[in-house]
Structure 1
Amino acid sequence: MQISFNHASDLHDVKELLLSLAGTSNRDLEVVTEKNNTLYIKVNRNEEYMIQTYIVPALSKFIIKRKEPTLFRNLLSTVFFFHDESEQQQIIQMVYSIISEDEANLHPQLREGYRREELLTQALTIFLSNQNIYFSFEAFLKFRLKDYYNRLLDYIEVAIDEYKLEQDYQDFIESLRKYIGSKTRTAFSQVHVVYENERFLFYDENFDHFTYQVQSLEDDFISVKGFEVDQELIAPLLLICPKEIYLYVLDVDHGMIQMVMNIFQERVKVLPHERFYEQQH
C-alpha cells in the first residue's frame, strides 16, 4: 500500500500515528517513508486485521485531528458564506461542543444516522480492502468521503442555529443592560433576594420582606428577539433597579441566577444561602 501526500508534515503525522498504534517493533506491519512524500505500508500477514486495527484508525484519527478543522472552515465559507474568521472559530467551537455530547444528550436533529467517526471507518475500510492500492490522500479526502462531509454539514447547521440563538441572547442581555443604565431613580438602593421553596423572596436593606407587583415593563422588554423577560425575578429587579443586589443561593449555576449576574454585572453579589439567615439576626 502506497499513500502520497501533498505535504511532508502530513506524511510525518500519519507515519507517527501508525507507529504509535502498531509499535515500532511490529514485524507484521512495515512503514517506510519514500521520496516524493509517499508512505509505503507493507502488511506481511493478517492483512484484514492489520488494516482494520492500525491503518484505518490511524488515517481516521489524522483526518479528525489534523484535517477536520480546515474542512469545517472551508464548508462555513463556501456553503454557508461565513467568511469572518472570528465567527468561523466560534461556530467551530460550538460544533465540537455538540459532537462531544453523549448519545442521550445529542441534539434531536443529529440522533439519526452515524457519527462521523463511524462514517470515516466505513469509507476507509471499503477503500483499503486491497492492500496493494496506491492512492493520493488528498484525492481520497476530496472525492471518497461524501457521507462524512454530509455529516459535517449536519453538525454545522445545528451549530449555526445555536450560534445565532446565542447572538440574539447576547443582544437581549445588552438591551436590558442599557435599560437599567438609563434609569436614574430606584425604589430601593439595596435588595436581598433569597431562593426559598422554588420561588424568589425580596427583602430591603433592613431585611424586611416586601412584595413587588410587576404591573408592566415597557413594551420593548416584554419580548426581545423572542426572549421573554422573567416575571418572577428579572422583571421586578429591572423595575426596582437597585444599586446593590445580594443573591443568597444554594446553586450559583441556577439559570436565573446566571442571568441576573449577566444583566446587572457588578451590582450583584452572590452569597451562600445560609448567610441570609445569619444576617437577619
Structure 2
Amino acid sequence: MADISIGTARHIDLIKIRLGRDMKNLEKEGLKVRLKESSAGRFNFVSCQVMPDGGQKGDIQAIFRHHIARSLSDLILGQWQKLLLKDMIRENYYYFNEEERQNIFKYALSHVGYGRGGRKAVCQQLFKKRIMEKILDFLRHNNQIIVEGFIRFRLKDYVEQLEQAVERAVDDFLMEREYQEFIQLLKYFVEIQESRVELVHVLKLPGGAFQLLDEQKQVLRVDYLENLFMDLTEGEINYEDMLISTLITLAPKQIVIHNPDCEKKNTVMETINLVFWGRVRECTDCSLCRKK
C-alpha cells in the first residue's frame, strides 16, 4: 500500500478536489484509492492511500508519485503562485494603495506566463516541469509534504523568479504611470492652445521622418514653427518628439494619419490618439497613402 499525506495552511478544499479527480484516473489503472482528511495545529492534511487491485501494471509507487506530483505542480502554478505574488507585493510594496498593487499584480502575472501567447505558455510549462521534478525527488524520500514549507525551502529558485517578476512589474507600473501623467500634461497643453490650423495630414517618410500637409495636401510651412524646429534638432534628431511637439503647437482641430501599415501600431501614433482624443482619424487607402 502506498500512502502520501499532503498538508497546507490554506485551500485544503482545492487540494481535495484536485486529488479526488486525479485519483479516479488511478482507479482506471487498476488501483484502489482512498482519501482521508485530518488536521494538526494550523495545518490540514489529505492522506492518499493507494492499494493494488490485481489489474495494475508497472511500478505502483512511481505511478502514484507521478500523479501526486502532477496534481501539486498544477495547484502551485494555478493557485499558490498568485498567492505568493500578492504576498510579495503586499509585504514589499506596502506604500502603494490597493488599486496600484492590483495593477502591479496584473503586470507580474504577465511576466510569469499568464495570458495568451506561445512564449507565455512555454514559460508556464517550464515552471511546471521544474516543480514536478522537485516534488518527485522529494516524494522518493518522504511520504508527507506540506505545500507552504515545500515552496519555501525546496523551490527557492522558483520563488526568486517570482520576486524578479514582481520587481519588473513594479518597473512596468511606474513607467506606465509616468506615461499617463505625461499624456495628461500634453492634453492640458492642447486644451489651452488656440487652434492654428483646421486640418493636418501626417505622413510617415522612409527613415523615420514625418511630413505634415495642410488642408490642400500641400507641405505645411509656417513661420512660427522655425524656432521650434531649431530647438528640437539640436543634437540627435528625434522625429517622433518633433512630430508631437509640432502638433501640440499647431493644435489642429482635425488630424489625419496616413498609415497604410495600420496593423503595425507604434507608440507615437498611440500617443497622438490619446493626446488629441476625438480629433484623429486614420486613412489607409488614398493617393497620399499609396504614394508612400
| Structure 2 residue 197 is the aligned partner of structure 1 residue 188 | yes
Note the alpha carbon deviations across 1:128-177, whole angstroms, 9 max, x for none: 113x6123334434444322222211111111111111111111111111
Q: Which has the larger radius of gyration?
A: 2
User: Between Structure 1 and Structure 2, how many residues are aligned?
Assistant: 261
Partner of 1:73: 86
Specify whether residues 206 and 229 from structure 1 end up closer, same or farther in structure 2 by C-alpha distance, changes over 3 A only. closer
Partner of 2:42: none
TM alignment of 1:32-71, pairs within 5 A = 32-36=34-38, 37-42=45-50, 45-46=58-59, 49-50=62-63, 53-71=66-84
**Could you tell me the percent identity over the aligned residues?**
20
Note the alpha carbon deviations across 1:164-196, whole angstroms, 9 max, x for none: 11111111111111111111x222111111223
Specify whether residues 51 and 174 from structure 1 end up closer, same or farther in structure 2 by C-alpha distance, changes over 3 A only. farther
Partner of 2:5: 2
* TM-fit CA distance, 1:247: 0.9
Q: 2-side partners of 1:149 and 1:82: how far apart? A: 22
* TM-fit CA distance, 1:53: 4.0
- Which of 182, 186, 211 in structure 2 is aligned with 1:172? 182
Partner of 1:13: 17
Is residue 194–residue 201 contact of structure 1 (8 Å, CA) maintained in 2?
A: yes
Specify whether residues 133 and 214 from structure 1 end up closer, same or farther in structure 2 by C-alpha distance, changes over 3 A only. farther
| Structure 2 residue 132 is the aligned partner of structure 1 residue 94 | no
Is residue 200–residue 233 contact of structure 1 (8 Å, CA) maintained in 2?
A: yes
Note the alpha carbon deviations across 1:224-251, whole angstroms, 9 max, x for none: xxxx893332111011110111111023
- Which of 260, 266, 270 in structure 2 is aligned with 1:250? 260
Give 5+ residue unaligned stretches, structure 1: 223-227
Is residue 193–residue 202 contact of structure 1 (8 Å, CA) maintained in 2?
A: yes
Is residue 229–residue 235 contact of structure 1 (8 Å, CA) maintained in 2?
A: no
Q: 2-side partners of 1:83 and 1:14: how far apart? A: 35
Q: 2-side partners of 1:97 and 1:247: how far apart? A: 32
TM-score (norm 2): 0.75
One-letter amino acid matched to 1:91:
I
Q: 2-side partners of 1:258 and 1:207: how far apart? A: 23
Q: Secondary structure at the match of 1:100?
A: coil
TM alignment of 1:76-155, pairs within 5 A = 76-81=89-94, 84-100=97-113, 116-130=127-141, 133-155=143-165
Specify whether residues 231 and 99 from structure 1 end up closer, same or farther in structure 2 by C-alpha distance, changes over 3 A only. same
* TM-fit CA distance, 1:16: 4.7
Is residue 91–residue 156 contact of structure 1 (8 Å, CA) maintained in 2?
A: yes
TM-score (norm 1): 0.77
